[in-house]
């Protein structure tokens, strides 16, 4: 059961006026633990219901709160420009594609601006998104890079990824898994990016970033980390943003 509670307690006076200020408090959704449901599931549901980014995503028609992460990242680094060709790895449910489509002018709504393109790939089928071309593809396949370039009609200006490996519950194991996934995404980006291109991917803080940092610095003019406000404060996630792709170089 879901119910809303306030800090006021008791009933109102009927006048609609409250000088104590207690009635001014924001309502918070609380979730009762149902029989057969784990406490962790109940806490997750309660957090979702009270998350302002989740509520805002619903109000603005985005498919998830992650849309605001890429929005904030691009506000800072400005790589989703009109005319850009973008590849979104692991694009489900599609929030990043939604933001990118608007910013690169994929629908041609910005008069006088170049029209960009968004190519989203994922292991599962994704519901259509206006201005985006979506494919079921494992980017780890040997010929995945060639397929992507064929679909794009050339090289990409941006490769971005919000992918995360399935959580094991063991912090260090999860860190290693997501870093391995991020490294694989980076090497994929090397194969499809055009000179000057940008790579953006989610990583987890935990000490295994050195190898990724090294290879990115070899192949991009600038490598930075950023934690957007839409990332939860208790999450160790951050995003690596590598700009100015210059091609693979011998180590």
The CA distance from 23 to 8, in Å, is: 6
Burial 35-64 (b: 16+ CB within 10 A, else e): eeeeeeeeeebbeeeeeebbeebeeeebbb
Q: Are 79 and 65 in contact (CB under 8 A)?
A: no
The CA distance from 75 to 79, in Å, is: 9
Q: Is 74 annotated as a binding residue?
A: no
Q: Is 122 annotated as a binding residue?
A: yes
Nearest to 74 by CA among 52, 116, 107, 104: 104
Q: Is 51 annotated as a binding residue?
A: no
Q: Is 247 annotated as a binding residue?
A: no
Q: Are 218 and 249 in contact (CB under 8 A)?
A: yes
- Report the catalytic residues: 202
Known binding site for S-adenosyl-L-methionine: residues? 94, 96, 122, 138, 162
Known binding site: residues? 94, 96, 122, 138, 162
């Amino acid at each position: 059961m879901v119910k809303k509670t306030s800090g006021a307690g008791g009933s109102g006076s009927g006048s609609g006026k409250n000088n104590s200020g207690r009635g001014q408090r924001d309502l918070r959704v609380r979730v009762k633990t149902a029989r057969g449901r784990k406490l962790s599931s109940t806490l997750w549901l309660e957090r979702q219901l009270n998350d302002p980014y989740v509520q805002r995503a619903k109000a603005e028609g985005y498919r998830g709160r992650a849309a605001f992460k890429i929005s904030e990242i691009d506000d800072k680094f400005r790589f989703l420009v009109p005319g850009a060709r973008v590849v979104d790895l692991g694009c489900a449910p599609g929030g990043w594609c939604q933001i990118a489509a608007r910013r690169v002018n994929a629908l041609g709504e910005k008069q006088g601006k170049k029209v960009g393109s968004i190519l989203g790939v994922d292991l599962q089928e994704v519901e259509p998104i206006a201005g985006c071309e979506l494919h079921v593809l494992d980017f780890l396949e040997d010929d995945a890079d060639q397929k992507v370039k064929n679909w794009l009609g050339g090289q990409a200006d941006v490769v971005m990824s919000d992918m995360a490996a399935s959580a094991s519950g063991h912090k260090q194991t999860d860190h290693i898994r997501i870093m391995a996934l991020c490294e694989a995404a980076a090497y994929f980006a090397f194969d499809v990016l055009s000179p000057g291109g940008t790579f953006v991917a989610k990583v987890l803080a935990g000490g295994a970033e050195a190898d990724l940092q090294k290879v990115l610095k070899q192949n991009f003019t600038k490598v930075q980390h950023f934690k957007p406000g839409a990332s939860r404060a208790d999450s160790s996630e951050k995003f690596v943003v590598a700009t100015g792709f210059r091609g693979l170089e011998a180590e």
